[in-house]
Amino acid sequence: MTESQKARTVRDSADVVILGAGPAGLVLGNLLRAAGVDCVILERAAREHVQTRARAGYLAQHTVSILERHGLAEGLRRRGQEHAVCEFRTEDDRFRLDYSLLGKGEQHWVYPQQELVTDLLNRYLTAGGRICFQTGAEAVRDFGGTRPTVDVRDADGRPGRWHARYVAGCDGRHGAARRSLPAGAVRRYHRDHAVTWLGLLAQAPPSLDAVGYAVHPRGFAGHMARSPEVTRYYLQVPRGTAPGAWSGERIWDELALRLGAAAHGPLRSGPIVQRAVVDLESDVLEPLRHGSLFLVGDAAGLISPSAAKGANLAVLEAEILADGLTAALRHSDPGPLDRYSAQCLAYIWRAQEFSHWMIRLLHAEPEAGGAQDGADGGSPFQDRLRHSRLQALRSSRTQQDWFAENYVGL
């Protein structure tokens, strides 16, 4: 082997190769760096894109605790906003729950994901962490043994290969980690909830001092503050609706109708700066470990956004995996890694159960054998059950405590 080949082998190797620079990959990278574990992050997108892509903005108390425990919460504490109230609206009425006074007394922090990602990335690079942007992982190979490799391609189309002892697939449901699993190696549990949302980011101040959930015959509408100047809205729409199909005027009219602006106060409107259509789906892969390859975040399981669990699960899984990898690599203790899949799946399925409950609370359930058309015209029997759930949530302290514990926690 020539000296240049030796140098390339050292450069393109790490004890842990992390695929993806989202919250899961960056939390994992920071924790491994702090533990003295050699790692590298491979990210398909450019740095600017990573730091500006808008995603979820609600962090649960356990997520904040993880970030604080590892010294990663400085930006959150400085710029994040505490949030503890949600409001449910129907055609007839509304009621509010201060969930910080219910259940375990926990609350959310509102902190846009792109700001969290920027914080984590800056901390990782300042600590000397290695990251390769515009490096797309094509396939993970030989992960049944002890020396897996990752085939990559850079922005110019040049192929490459990274050598590792472990690979962490934090690259989402369509990433190389999932694609590399052979047929029969994993069991996939999948559900299409037959509900579609039009997700909107508006350059407009929040109109409520709470998270707003509107249950309306025309479909669900949601209001979630992101900052004093930006608000995220959701509108249930028919399946197949294109992101740009609705005009801005129609969107604001529909939001005002479903959120009951005439009865409860007008909405503060503004330019819609981002649109995306989301088909509410859930899926979970079992197991999450395949030899030296581990699935984390959306690669492990996709959860609907109805209860804001995705990023929170990703951070939790990253901490669990970091502990396991550190124990294996620094202390020759394989036990925590052996428990990774079962430990994470317990949290994932609990979050999935609550997310499914929220979906059925907020949306009509279609008749058996029918398809949801987005107009919220489902089974009359299921509609009455949904009404009963809302009434129980309004009046029963036991139900409110259960809701609060599951809404904020895992």
pLDDT at 1 > cutoff 80: no
Do 171 and 312 lie in one domain? The reply is: yes
Q: What is the pLDDT of residue 372?
A: 43
pLDDT digits 0-9 by tens, 149-183: 999 999 899 999 999 999 999 999 999 999 999 99
Return d(Cα 241, Cα 222) in angstroms, integer. 18
Give the mean pLDDT of 29-46.
97
Q: What is the pLDDT of residue 308?
A: 85
Give the mean pLDDT of 104-124.
94
Do 36 and 162 lie in one domain? The reply is: yes
pLDDT at 397 > cutoff 70: yes
Q: Is residue 87 part of a domain?
A: no
Task: Name the helix (H) or strand (E) containing 193.
Answer: strand 187-202
11-15, 23-27, 351-355, 374-378: range with lowest mean pLDDT = 374-378
Return d(Cα 147, Cα 143) in angstroms, integer. 7
Residue type, 123: R
Do 201 and 248 lie in one domain? The reply is: yes
Residue 307 pLDDT grade (very low, low, confident, very high; cuts 50, 70, 90): confident
Residues in the chain, total? 410
Q: What is the pLDDT of residue 367?
A: 55
Return d(Cα 351, Cα 393) in angstroms, integer. 19
What's the angle, vertex CA 198, arms to CA 95 and CA 381, rounded to 5?
55
Q: Could you please report the per-residue DSSP string of 352-371?
A: HHHHHHHHHHHSPPPPTT--
Do 342 and 328 lie in one domain? The reply is: yes
Residue 330 is encoded by which pair of tokens? 């620094």
Return d(Cα 191, Cα 212) in angstroms, integer. 25
Structural domain tally of the chain? 2
Give the mean pLDDT of 310-315.
95
Residue with the bigger pLDDT between 373 and 288: it is 288
Q: Which residues are known catalytic residues? A: 83, 213, 305, 309, 407
Do 233 and 156 lie in one domain? The reply is: no
Q: Is residue 93 part of a domain?
A: no
Do 200 and 185 lie in one domain? The reply is: no
Do 68 and 204 lie in one domain? The reply is: no
Parent domain of 75: 3-82+107-190+281-357
Do 380 and 314 lie in one domain? The reply is: no
pLDDT digits 0-9 by tens, 315-367: 999 999 999 999 999 999 999 999 999 999 999 999 999 999 999 999 987 65
Do 38 and 156 lie in one domain? The reply is: yes
Q: What percent of the chain has pLDDT over 70?
A: 94
Residue 11 pLDDT grade (very low, low, confident, very high; cuts 50, 70, 90): low
Do 303 and 267 lie in one domain? The reply is: no
- DSSP-derived pairing of the beta strands 130-132 and 39-42: parallel
Q: To the nearest whole number, what is the mean pLDDT of the chain?
A: 92
Q: Is residue 406 part of a domain?
A: no
Q: What is the pLDDT of residue 338?
A: 98
* CB burial string 151-181: b at 16+ within 10 A, e below: bbeeeeeeebebbbbbbbbbbbbebbbbebb
Partners of 356 in the β-ladder: none
pLDDT digits 0-9 by tens, 175-233: 999 999 999 999 999 999 999 999 999 999 999 999 999 999 999 999 998 888 999 99
* CB burial string 182-193: b at 16+ within 10 A, e below: eeeeeeeeeeeb
Residue 306 pLDDT grade (very low, low, confident, very high; cuts 50, 70, 90): confident
Q: Is residue 294 part of a domain?
A: yes
pLDDT at 369 > cutoff 60: no
Q: Is residue 92 part of a domain?
A: no
Do 290 and 347 lie in one domain? The reply is: yes
CATH number where 136 lies:
3.50.50.60
Return d(Cα 284, Cα 301) in angstroms, integer. 4
Q: What is the pLDDT of residue 9?
A: 42
Do 126 and 253 lie in one domain? The reply is: no
Q: Is residue 257 part of a domain?
A: yes
Q: Is residue 367 part of a domain?
A: no
Q: What is the pLDDT of residue 2?
A: 38
Tokens 């395949």 correspond to: 290
Q: What is the pLDDT of residue 4?
A: 35
Q: Is residue 171 part of a domain?
A: yes
CATH number where 251 lies:
3.30.9.10
Q: What percent of the chain has pLDDT over 90?
A: 85
